[in-house]
Amino acid sequence: MLVLRLLNVVAPAYFLCISLVTFVLQIFLFIPSMFRDPSTTPLFSPALLHGALFLFLSANALGNYVLVIQSSPEDLGKSLNLGEGTEVVADWLDGSKFPGSALPSTHFCRLCARVTQRHDHHCFFTGNCIGSKNMRNFVMFCLYTSLACLDSLVAGMAYISAALSMSFANPLAFLTLLPHSISQFFSGALLSSEMFVILMLYLWLGIGLACAGFCCHQMLLILRGQTRYQVRKGLVVRARPWRENLREVFGKRWLLGLLIPVLNVGSDYCGQKEK
C-alpha cells in the first residue's frame, strides 16, 4: 500500500515533467527551426501551422487532465451513511458483514478513500479514480495525449533529420537510431541536446502508443456498456444498444467535448443526478 501511495504522487509529477519538457522543445527548438525554410510564405509556413496544431492538442490534453482530477467521482459512502472508517465502508460494499448489501458497479478505493459509482479503475497518472463523473474527460485525455505525442514525434524526427543529415525513409532507420546515437555521443560526434531529443523520440513513441491503447480499450468497453472493474470481477451487465452506452458517457454535447475540454455535461448520468 505504501508503494501504491508513493506511485500515486510520483506518476502525476512525472507526467507534468514530460509535458513541460515537450512544450519547451516544441516552442524553443522544433518550431523555430521550421522558420528557416525561405521557400514558404510567412502566413502558411509549416511553423505556424504546426505551432497551432500543437497548441490545440496540448490545450485539450492538459485541459482534460485537469478536469479528470477536479471531477472526482461521487463519494457514495457519505450519502449512504455507512459509518466512519475505511473498514466499515469496505465491509459494507463487498457484503462480507452485511450479506446482500454490496452495490453493483461500485468499488471502494483505499487510495482515494471514497466509494465510486461505475468504478472503472484508479489512474495513477491523475492520482484519481475513474468513474461515471470523469470517464469522458479521461478518454479525451488519452486521445489528445497520444495525438500530442505523435505530433512531437514527427516534429522531432524532422529536426533530427535536418540536424544529422539523415533520412527516415527506411523504417529500420528509426530502430537503429538509438544504438548509433549512443556510440556517436560517447565518441563526441553528437551534441548532448541532439542526444536528448533522440531519447525523447522513443519516450513520445512509448507514451503515445500506451495512451492510444488505453483509449481504444476504453472505447471498446464503453460500447459494450462495461467497465474494467466489472470485467475483472466477472459482473454481468444488462445488454443495451451501443448508442445508448455512448450517450451515457459522452452525452448529447459530445462534439463540444471533442473540440474543447469541458465538464461531463449533458450525459445521462448528470441528468439523473439533477433530477
Q: Which residues are catalytically annotated?
A: 123
Please compute, for residue 207, the number of CA atoms within 13 A of its CA located in the half-sphere on the CB side: 26
Contact 197/29 with Cβ under 8 angstroms?
yes
Alpha-carbon distance of 187 to 180, in angstroms, equals 11
Backbone angles phi, psi at 188, to 5 degrees: 90, 5
SS3 107: strand
DSSP string, 203-259: HHHHHHHHHHHHHHHHHHHHHHT--HHHHHHT-------HHHHHHHHH-TTHHHHHH
| Bridge partner residues of 114 (DSSP) | 109
> For residue 59, which of 11, 9, 23 has the smallest C-alpha distance?
23
For cell 507514451, name the residue.
207
